[in-house]
Structure 1
Amino acid sequence: MLKRLLLIVIMMAFTFSYIDIANAKEKTNLKIASKAAVLVDSSSGQILYGKNPDKKLYPASLTKIATAIYAIENGNLDDMVTVSKAAEETDGTRVYLLEGERVTLKHLVQGLLINSGNDAGVAIADYLCGDVPTFAEKLNEFMVDKVGVSNTHFVNPHGLFDKNHYTTASDLAKITDYAIKNPTFREIFGTKELKWNGKGWHTTLITHHLMLKGEIPYPGITGGKTGYVDQSGQTLATTAQNNNIHLTVITMDAKTKKDEYQDTKQLLDYGFTHFKTSELPEDTMFKYGNKIFKTSEKLLYTSPLHASVSERISKNGVLEIVDKSGALLKSFQLSEQKVMAAQSAPSKKKTEKSKHNPWILMMPIILIGFGVFWSVKRIKNKKKG
């Protein structure tokens, strides 16, 4: 039985080793054509794959993800916005707003994300901040203070080229993951089509994202945004989920649409095949010596889909999640809990009683010795009989 159990353990260890090797091999075999790309666990924020993740590049219309979440959080979506002349005259992709037209802020956000309306972006900027430069200043502050970006600078709400308008794949993933936590943004970001009855345009808006609208079929797509200007190349933001994990993929500066969608499919396949989101519930306790540490909220982290992980706590309360090889997956700073003296040590009264009554401590030993003596005596008596 022991030999059989040992064999099973060895087989399991071999299986996990093989999966890890296959994981590493598949990761290095990913052929990503885009100049920069990231695959991120949308829930934990962990980057699962990166190619030039911190390289500053031009985002084109992926800028509108930032504009949309800023508008949703800082404006009243039911407010009526009067379209300015500057908005009507905006270049590029539009929803054909007319000067003086009145549109709800929510409808502008829908036109911004679903049809990539540059004019909708300017109308939003004018409504919220009076003009585009002031809006850009406020947007940058929001991105740093609320989202936590570190290599992003926007000068407009739509992404038309400007040499000072840049971001990175990792920052765009942060922006997207922040935005999709908002239910209104998430709904619009995942909208495939919408009736548009504008003063200058009556149509049905259809998302430009080929995976979201089903032209390139892929199960589990939850949202997407496309972008292109000559200087940026093809840019693409995609979110998707299955029962194990919710993923975000950002690709930047692809030469063709075919490249960016192939890159996205490869990265989603890789993420769904190898990872899952795990959690530690709020108020989970960990002990280090006499210290007790506790999670103050639910903690999320990414773990291998087919391998186990373990937890270790430091004397300073840093909880580390490690894989079977000991490699660090994620760390969290936990709060230390005060332990009552009565719980951590015997009372003074009990200690003194034990000190002055040694027979209490000796009693179990005496009883055991007496029992052994009695048993031996009975055996001897039986032999004599």
Structure 2
Amino acid sequence: MIDFWHMHREGVKAMGWRLRIVTLFLALCCFMGFDAMGEAKAYILMDLDTGRVLYEKNADERLAIASTTKIMTCLLALENSALADRVTASENASGVPGTSIYLSVGETLSMEDMLYGLMLRSGNDAAVAIAEHVAGSVEAFSNMMNERAGEIGADVYFTTPNGLDAGGNGASARGITLITREALFNPDFRRIVGTKKKTIPWTNHEYERVLTNKNKLLSDYEGAIGVKTGFTNKAGRCLVFAAERENMTLVGCVLNCYDWFDEAEKLLDKGFLEYDAKVFLEKGEIVDTILVGGKKVRVAAGKTVKAPLKDGEKTDMKIEIRELSLPVLKGQIVGKASVVAGGDVIMTSDLVSMDTHEKPSFAGALKKVVSLWKFGG
């Protein structure tokens, strides 16, 4: 005879153990944090203002980065041309494979429209046209890209302006994020990558090009401000992203990550949840008054000094003022303020003079000596 009650009771017991195991697994995932969920080959998240790294994984491993390469292409174009420049597509540009804005040979657009085509539609043809306009050739432009990356301190090796898998083109997660951080301080770059949709001309067509930004975070994530998607078979799905909330802006990337948008959102959520930007000094706030050549010089913060901190994280601020002599000019850099956390300097900002004092002339100095002699007894 089959004991259905015994079978039912044992089944309930088994189900109870399964529920406990699932509950334990979920608890471990929460305890372990982002890595328990993350699928990215590499990722990094940093504070835009200070460059402080909040989270990272394999951040220094150089990988293929696909069209996120175009972040550097855009930055270089903005630094080395005018938005009103007329850019003409060569046969080389028109024939490039992959995603494009369908430039025809000889078609001319403004640099600004080319950059929208580059960053919203991810036009490989636009990338080549821009490179040839700025540097004369793709090879020369690639050299410019690597040189500029060196100035930023980014570990990269660029061989193309569009990120197609050729010649070892790639970067580390830290490298491409440092480049993006630099670019986001350029207001034109920020405006372009934060645009959801843009209409630009289409020569010899009855209608215009309507470009839709491939970065879904702009619509789906509160505070998102950019910046660029990328995909090739070698690189996988790559996403460089940035978002701002209250007084903190975070920038980062996920490389070779199937659930690129989901993982980017998780990383941003973690950053905004666990860190807050603490203000140490407001711009123009006086930190000291010193004597220079007998003259009082007020020393102030040149910009707001703030840094991302975890709740309860211990910090210290160091003030360093240079040895000065007259003349001293208002706005002159006279020292620096550094924020230290865990023994590491996480933010440095210039201190400036709030006063102007000229160096006394010989005649003025002589007059002062005579006055002291005459009235000093």
User: Do the two structures share a fold, i.e. TM-score over 0.5?
Assistant: yes
Aligned to 1:232: 235
CA, structure 1 residues 139+312, in 2 after alignment: closer, same or farther (shift >3 Å)? closer
Paired residues of 1:281 and 1:295 also in contact (CA < 8 A): no
Q: Which of the residues 188, 213, 233 maps onto 1:184?
A: 188
SS in 2 for 1:140: helix
Aligned to 2:246: 243
Aligned equivalents of 2:172 and 2:300: distance in 1? 32
How many Å apart are 1:200 and its aligned residue? 6.2
Aligned equivalents of 1:59 and 1:190: distance in 2? 20
Paired residues of 2:300 and 2:352 also in contact (CA < 8 A): no
Q: Pairwise CA RMSD of aligned residues?
A: 2.9
Paired residues of 2:287 and 2:301 also in contact (CA < 8 A): no
Aligned to 2:25: none
Aligned equivalents of 1:302 and 1:263: distance in 2? 24
Deviations 1:28-75 (A, max 9, x none): 655221100011111211110001111100110001011001101110
Is residue 117 of structure 1 aligned with residue 123 of structure 2? yes
Q: Which of the residues 79, 84, 88 maps onto 1:78?
A: 84
How many Å apart are 1:302 and its aligned residue? 2.8
CA, structure 1 residues 286+25, in 2 after alignment: closer, same or farther (shift >3 Å)? farther
How many Å apart are 1:309 and its aligned residue? 4.2
Is residue 104 of structure 1 aligned with residue 110 of structure 2? yes
How many Å apart are 1:127 and its aligned residue? 0.7
Q: Which runs of 5+ in 1 are unaligned?
A: 1-23, 338-385
Q: Which of the residues 321, 335, 338 maps onto 2:339?
A: 321
Paired residues of 1:286 and 1:294 also in contact (CA < 8 A): yes
Q: Aligned residues, how many?
A: 300
The equivalences for 1:1-385 within 5 A come to 25=31, 27=33, 30-145=36-151, 147-149=152-154, 151-199=155-203, 202-212=208-218, 214=219, 217-254=220-257, 256=258, 259-279=259-279, 280-281=281-282, 284-285=286-287, 297-298=302-303, 300-304=305-309, 306-307=311-312, 309-313=314-318, 321-322=339-340, 328=344, 330=346, 332=348
Deviations 1:266-300 (A, max 9, x none): 1011011011233434565379xxxx996663364
More helix by share: 1
Aligned equivalents of 1:27 and 1:328: distance in 2? 24
AA of the residue aligned to 2:302: E
Deviations 1:222-262 (A, max 9, x none): 112110111111100111111131111201012x2xx2122
SS in 2 for 1:49: strand
More strand by share: 2
TM-score by length of 2: 0.72
SS in 2 for 1:224: strand
Paired residues of 1:97 and 1:200 also in contact (CA < 8 A): no
Aligned equivalents of 1:55 and 1:154: distance in 2? 15
Aligned equivalents of 1:241 and 1:99: distance in 2? 40
CA, structure 1 residues 301+46, in 2 after alignment: closer, same or farther (shift >3 Å)? farther
CA, structure 1 residues 315+209, in 2 after alignment: closer, same or farther (shift >3 Å)? closer
CA, structure 1 residues 190+245, in 2 after alignment: closer, same or farther (shift >3 Å)? same
Tell me which structure has the larger Cα radius of gyration. 1
Aligned equivalents of 1:242 and 1:186: distance in 2? 16
How many Å apart are 1:199 and its aligned residue? 2.1
Aligned equivalents of 1:331 and 1:196: distance in 2? 41
Percent sequence identity over aligned pairs:
30
Paired residues of 1:221 and 1:240 also in contact (CA < 8 A): yes
CA, structure 1 residues 293+51, in 2 after alignment: closer, same or farther (shift >3 Å)? farther
Aligned equivalents of 2:236 and 2:299: distance in 1? 47
